[in-house]
Structure 1
């Protein structure tokens, strides 16, 4: 009987995955994106806000609903696009929000309407995808509830949601300029000054010189005031004895993070919108672009509060712990911070711990999407750091991604061969003799559009291969995000992936489905996806500076089945010729 029940449930999950969602409500929003003064970590700066607030408004919907966002670009000096992270955009690839891939940027003063269906429940978010706008604060939560008839394989009494990110006092324009300099003038973004929980952190104001009290310099010096309400510690309010679903998302621009709750274990139950086999953990590694749900029971002494903490992992930490308060009570701003020391995460360079935790995340029985038995396409993608024309770049199989002025999706739909060589494809493999622990000897690296093409329903295996940077004895964590899809994570390993040695280590039984996955230093990560969503989809490192420096590719699939691109998504590059002035 149990087997029959499991089979029925699994069949229902597959049908829900393949079939279009039932038509739900239309949820409409009007947003204006503009520069605002804000003090996320008590240091006042200019951030990119929505309707005068930071972080942006939370969107809450039910699976099958249509989201309609009228987005006005109120910024006077730059374009705009918003990506709906984790939403597959089935039938609406032109609303994925990647400038020069799925649409033209929204110009200052223009209004663009995004309209798409959220087809399945889960924890998601949205963020700016133009330049480094995510790093400037353009992001917010997007939570999709299941329809009432859908089974949820765990119970809880309440729900909390937080977004984690890292924060700099330097503007994104200064950061972008530094990344684009020649030779020794190159300036990396450096380590963040603060870690924020739900948009709030606390910088040590004593490290900033006091600002003059009068002009002409009073507006030109950083102002830090720890009594500002905008940087008051975020409070997670719980009641004794109750169990809470805590939704966690990382929109970090650089840092791999580790989240933990003082005195409380967590049970991991959801990853990137998919239910996973419950895993009890004391802390959670979370990489940029990932989302999780954990269950937390308020089973400690209710007479005191506890720390919620986030620390840097994977990089030598130079950033203080980010803190919030787990408050037994009403969670008001008067909740006293704990008097205990902040909890400590595993060592920043304990990568074995990180890999072991990643391998514990597997799909939940009864909610597994069947894995295709075999792939007919395989990509071996080697990421390297290179010098191209005197500039430091990242490259994939020796090609560093550079966006062009014409959206890739439009080039395919309108056969704009002057914009792209649509028949060309970057290398699908790299030399097996490559020494991943040596400084990259790649004098032939070039800049390009990095467009791989697939037929509709191709099953594609991708091996992400990490290597040494230009700095000796240095390799970094890279979280890779695929737009328009979820994929099965089949395995992780160290060294160069070799089929005869590593194929037997892959998980074909209960691989988790994700939209973002980490590749660890000097290691490889193996994933599989089905190219069943016609469109042009970015696949890139979710670290802002790395993608800006070329660490990404484009997947064009089923381009003979593309839906008609709306006029509002066109008008730049060679698509300008498609329109005539009235």
Structure 2
């Protein structure tokens, strides 16, 4: 067993024994211990009081600030009146789907109970966020920023900024989550959101202070319910430098699209004439009426704020349609020459020269099943199981999930199912997302980043491969699929485990637009801990796995 796995396993044991002492199996594996309390609070970011979910009383919650190879120990105390889980959007959870924090891998933390996540930020850097994963909890908050910083021995591919800001943006509903569930359970679509928040605050309530002439890194994440957003700062250029753990080819933009669940980093230089303030503007895309979130960018010493509404909102409109959005997406590419988590250049993994072993074609659609509107993937609408799929697989419990092909099946009638795609460890796979509904979709794969090789309108065909970017495609974990269009990604299956592949639109995931991928070597032997960590000693057991006959065998 190597040092990284020894560190995670022994550190978990220390937590269970009540020790706060740091155990280090490797001088570079720093251990970070945190206690977070999840609770309800009342907030009125848009002037209407509603119940929200906070972490340590804050919305957004506290920053999880790590460096490559750190081991995080996060004890989550649930004071809600419902079961709860957090998931780590974008972190790859190397060989450790046991701590992924979704219903298919973890039993929920019951009210008044606690559970400690233990995971390593192994071989990754970047900007991410955490959020609740059960039901529609994420529509009530419970999110916060994650930074994974470069090790000191590996330089970032730009001058060190003078400071950094985490900017969490998202659409917001004044209605309670239970009312939102009622809409969806009755087969109705959610109405348009009521507004856009920036760091949990409504229009003109958030402030960012810049020193004239200095440069700042803004780590931006769309943590909203379902709306694509345009991000910009009045009068300033945005230099895109990173997207979900990959350093990008540096390019200036006037505005950037950030789709649900996506994260990116930009550099902004305070190089404009000092005046009371500029506006940071976040506006909705592809919905009517257009909604705006506005924050104040203050130049230190410039003498206060612009009055709210000093610039008409229509003057700040993005005017960004689907075609323009896709064109912008194609310009986001990988920086091939710099290192990231490791010193070797990001472009040294020449993915375009690897033969694809398999193509998965996933079509999302809608159907009426049992008299209810549902969202489907290849005709199957995901139905959650009382037993996490990871535990069912570990204990060889029958009847919990069904293995599917990962391709549309002819003459299949839409149905409910708990679908899992079997995938072979170390295969190189193409996943094609085909969107058959008139709204933009975003897809996220836990445990992995993938190369966004191509996207286009209409139905995908093998001939589309001639249009792929096989040199410097962006490598990220969340990708958009435009209406009546397709997106193709390439992924190296180097992370064993049970991994969630889901819509990042909370309403569509609630209605069944998700599936799991079981990545394994296909043998009945116990996995080698170099490939996948064993079940942690503090794992919660529920459903069929709670049987006294199984225990922790």
| Smaller-chain TM-score bracket | 0.7 to 0.9
After TM superposition, list the pairs within 5 Å mapping 1:177-196 onto structure 2: 177-181=182-186, 186-196=187-197
Q: Which position in structure 2 is the counterpart of 1:229?
A: none
* Structure 1 counterpart SS, 2:316: coil
CA contact (8 A) 1:23 1:65 kept: yes
How far apart are 1:238 and its partner, in Å? Answer: 0.6
CA contact (8 A) 1:397 1:426 kept: no
CA contact (8 A) 2:379 2:408 kept: no
How far apart are 1:519 and its partner, in Å? Answer: 0.3
| 1:573 equivalent among 524, 543, 546 | 543
Q: Which position in structure 1 is the counterpart of 2:175?
A: 170
1: CA distance, partners of 2:242 / 2:308: 29
| 1:154 equivalent among 158, 168, 171 | 158
Q: Which position in structure 2 is the counterpart of 1:455?
A: 424
1: CA distance, partners of 2:484 / 2:375: 16
* Structure 1 counterpart SS, 2:404: coil
Q: Which position in structure 1 is the counterpart of 2:509?
A: 547
1: CA distance, partners of 2:480 / 2:454: 11
After TM superposition, list the pairs within 5 Å mapping 1:325-344 onto structure 2: 325-329=296-300, 337=308, 339-342=310-313, 343-344=315-316
Q: Which position in structure 1 is the counterpart of 2:75?
A: 70
Q: Which position in structure 2 is the counterpart of 1:97?
A: 101
Deviations 1:359-408 (A, max 9, x none): 00111021224316121011111111111011111111101111111111
Deviations 1:106-156 (A, max 9, x none): 111111000111122211110000111111011000111111111211112
How far apart are 1:567 and its partner, in Å? Answer: 5.2
Q: Which position in structure 2 is the counterpart of 1:226?
A: none
CA contact (8 A) 2:68 2:121 kept: yes
Deviates more, 1:153-162 or 1:64-73: 153-162
2: CA distance, partners of 1:497 / 1:320: 33
Q: Which position in structure 1 is the counterpart of 2:127?
A: 123
Q: Which position in structure 2 is the counterpart of 1:88?
A: 92
Q: Which position in structure 1 is the counterpart of 2:415?
A: 446
* Structure 2 counterpart SS, 1:569: coil
Q: Which position in structure 2 is the counterpart of 1:428?
A: 407
CA contact (8 A) 2:277 2:304 kept: no
CA contact (8 A) 1:386 1:445 kept: yes
How far apart are 1:489 and its partner, in Å? Answer: 0.5
How far apart are 1:578 and its partner, in Å? Answer: 4.6
1: CA distance, partners of 2:241 / 2:26: 23
- Unaligned residue ranges in structure 1 (runs of 5+): 1-19, 203-231, 432-441, 469-474
After TM superposition, list the pairs within 5 Å mapping 1:68-467 onto structure 2: 68-76=73-81, 78-99=82-103, 101-119=104-122, 120-155=124-159, 156-181=161-186, 186-202=187-203, 233-314=205-286, 316-318=287-289, 320-329=291-300, 337=308, 339-342=310-313, 343-347=315-319, 350-366=321-337, 367-368=346-347, 369-371=349-351, 373-421=354-402, 424-429=403-408, 444-467=413-436
CA contact (8 A) 2:67 2:148 kept: yes
CA contact (8 A) 2:296 2:305 kept: no
- Unaligned residue ranges in structure 2 (runs of 5+): 1-24, 338-345
How far apart are 1:340 and its partner, in Å? Answer: 2.4
1: CA distance, partners of 2:127 / 2:406: 35
2: CA distance, partners of 1:513 / 1:140: 23
Where has structure 1 moved over 4 Å in runs of 4 or more? 330-338, 578-582
Q: Which position in structure 2 is the counterpart of 1:503?
A: 465
Change (3 A) 1:331 1:198: farther
1: CA distance, partners of 2:488 / 2:551: 49
Change (3 A) 1:233 1:262: same
How far apart are 1:243 and its partner, in Å? Answer: 1.5
After TM superposition, list the pairs within 5 Å mapping 1:475-554 onto structure 2: 475-500=438-463, 502-554=464-516
What count of residue pairs does the alignment treat as equivalent? 507
CA contact (8 A) 2:39 2:54 kept: yes
How far apart are 1:499 and its partner, in Å? Answer: 1.3
2: CA distance, partners of 1:516 / 1:173: 27
2: CA distance, partners of 1:138 / 1:387: 31
2: CA distance, partners of 1:296 / 1:430: 49
2: CA distance, partners of 1:417 / 1:330: 67
CA contact (8 A) 1:192 1:319 kept: no
1: CA distance, partners of 2:263 / 2:65: 16
